[in-house]
Amino acid sequence: MGFFAGLIPRSALLFAIVAVLVFIPTSRGPRPGAAAQGLAPDAVTIPTPDHVVIVIMENHSYSQIIGSASAPYINSLAQQGALFTDSHAVTHPSEPNYLAFFSGSTQGLTDDSCPHTYSSANLASELIAAGLTFGGYSEDLPSVGSTVCTSGAYARKHNPWVNFTNVPSNANMPFTSFPSDPSLLPTVAIVVPNQNNDMHDGTIQQADTWLKQHIDPYLQWAWTHNSLLIVTWDEDDFTSVNRIPTIFVGPMVQPGQYGETINHYNVLRTLEDMYGLGHAGASATAAPITDIWVGSPGEDTTPPVPNPMTWASRPAATGSTTVAMTATTASDPSGVEYFFGCVAGTCHPSGWQASPTYTDTGLKAGATYTYQVKARDLSAGANETAWSTQASVTTPSMHVQGISLSTVNRGGGLKSGSAKVTIQDQRGKAVPGAIVTGQFTGSFNEVVSATTNSSGVALLVTVGQAPTSTFTFCVVDVTHPTLGYNAAANRKTCAKR
């Protein structure tokens, strides 16, 4: 029960729990302390969750986590909640980022040294001053209130609240104190896994599994208890961009991808505004997050532009069985994805994709296909443009236009069979360079191949000879480097002499 530190005597614990639950308003109601800051309740666009649990992971960039097959649970959270696509840490290395998240300042620290002591305002001190509660849960912390720098896989550099004299020592708890009944959680809790489970020393998959095992029970409860989960990272893998994943999940959150630029100070400011708290350090000038909440005025209802969608490059055959096309690159603050639809023919829709270019494969030579394209934004509303105009394309093909049979005198009364085969494309133009394979039967029984000349004519002559010249010739196949053989379009496939 360390998270009620400094608020109430033990004898009044039950009364205090009831009082805190009654005191905290429901989502989107007036916030405690709002009037004191001159904020009219009807102007508030940030909900007030009954509980917030924040989990801080370690040292991985956005691109290492989002879309990673090693992080299926984290990516499921991104699908269920608000994923910030342009979230950033404030510095390197780890410890100054934890301090920034907790107190709105790096406290001038530029390394991961230990120990340090501070007395400035912070999230915990603000909550306590407002009559609310805070708890910090560090995996492998040896005991409540411990000030050790390291213990097993625990590192104090990842625990900012232990450094502040205005945070009661019994709010500094091992993760074993995290209650199995989420209703017993403090108003705001920060969870820090140990260095094996937060991706610092362990793998992405290990951390993902830890989150699902230890945090998902809280999230399942939160869906029906007006509570919020935030998962974020202290910093990326030490690049100058310092882009990190940040995810908000809960019943008050509009799922979607959000493209505004945020950092630790924006998240701290949002937490402070949820409960009408003061603003610690740089959070005073940071903008709160207001557009992700259910029913928020900032909710995106505008589709990308252009609307309707247009073609940058209309569908064009790139082979006898492939068609490529490109939509006009659309713009929207939350990001854009595209859908190429098949209107006519046995073509294949693309499904929603990030690229404005699509290549349809596995088509038939000489067939006509019709496509259209639309776009949608990545906001919670998934606002779609209207379809583009329809565009048709015919895949290139070739066929047998004609067959002429004759014989070649070999002397001594013997003859060879001869077949002159004309190949044209779907436009009626001669096709040079096609390999024609045909079967002679009757007086001659053999398979012969020949290549068409510049006039699209192949001359196939048997090696075998016979005194008689009664035979049948049939085209078996025609191949070409870029054209497909459309036998259904043949004017003639077999001939008899």
Q: By the 8 A CB rule, do 241 and 64 touch? A: no
What pLDDT, on a 0 to 100 scale, did the predictor assign at position 299? 63
Q: Which of 378, 394, 410 is the last residue of a domain?
A: 394
What pLDDT, on a 0 to 100 scale, did the predictor assign at position 124? 98
Residue 351 located in a structural domain: yes
pLDDT in tens, 2-55: 434 433 333 333 333 333 333 333 333 333 333 223 233 334 479 999 999 999
Q: By the 8 A CB rule, do 340 and 327 touch? A: yes
Looking at the fold, whether 165 and 255 belong to one and the same domain comes out as: yes
Looking at the fold, whether 64 and 120 belong to one and the same domain comes out as: yes
What pLDDT, on a 0 to 100 scale, did the predictor assign at position 326? 98
Q: Which of 394, 410, 443 is the last residue of a domain?
A: 394
Q: Which of 248, 269, 285 is the last residue of a domain?
A: 285
Confidence label for 298 from pLDDT (cuts 50, 70 and 90): low
More confident site: 230 or 8: 230
Looking at the fold, whether 356 and 485 belong to one and the same domain comes out as: no
What count of other Cβ atoms lies within 10 Å of the Cβ of residue 92? 20
pLDDT of 301 higher than 90: no
Looking at the fold, whether 267 and 281 belong to one and the same domain comes out as: yes
What pLDDT, on a 0 to 100 scale, did the predictor assign at position 6? 39
pLDDT of 67 higher than 50: yes
Residue 33 located in a structural domain: yes
pLDDT in tens, 234-253: 999 999 999 999 999 999 99
The residue segments making up the domain with residue 344 are 311-394
What count of other Cβ atoms lies within 10 Å of the Cβ of residue 122? 26
Looking at the fold, whether 231 and 377 belong to one and the same domain comes out as: no
- Average pLDDT, stretch 174-193? 98
What pLDDT, on a 0 to 100 scale, did the predictor assign at position 18? 31
Structural domains in the chain (count): 3
Looking at the fold, whether 424 and 277 belong to one and the same domain comes out as: no
Looking at the fold, whether 224 and 326 belong to one and the same domain comes out as: no
pTM value?
0.58
pLDDT of 352 higher than 60: yes
pLDDT of 263 higher than 90: yes
Sign (positive/negative) of CA torsion 261, 263, 269, 272?
A: positive
Closest by CA to 52, choosing from 170, 190, 172, is 190
Confidence label for 379 from pLDDT (cuts 50, 70 and 90): confident
CA pair distance 443, 416, nearest whole angstrom: 9
Burial of 467 (0-12, 13-18, 19+ CB in 10 A): exposed
What pLDDT, on a 0 to 100 scale, did the predictor assign at position 424? 96
- Average pLDDT, stretch 385-403? 96
Looking at the fold, whether 69 and 52 belong to one and the same domain comes out as: yes
- Average pLDDT, stretch 61-81? 95
Please report, rounded to a whole number, the percentage of residues in the chain having pLDDT higher than 70. Answer: 90
Looking at the fold, whether 273 and 137 belong to one and the same domain comes out as: yes
- Average pLDDT, stretch 70-74? 97
pLDDT in tens, 434-466: 999 999 999 999 999 999 999 999 999 999 999
Residue 260 located in a structural domain: yes
Looking at the fold, whether 242 and 363 belong to one and the same domain comes out as: no
Residue 205 located in a structural domain: yes
CA pair distance 265, 206, nearest whole angstrom: 28
What pLDDT, on a 0 to 100 scale, did the predictor assign at position 33? 30
- Average pLDDT, stretch 191-211? 97
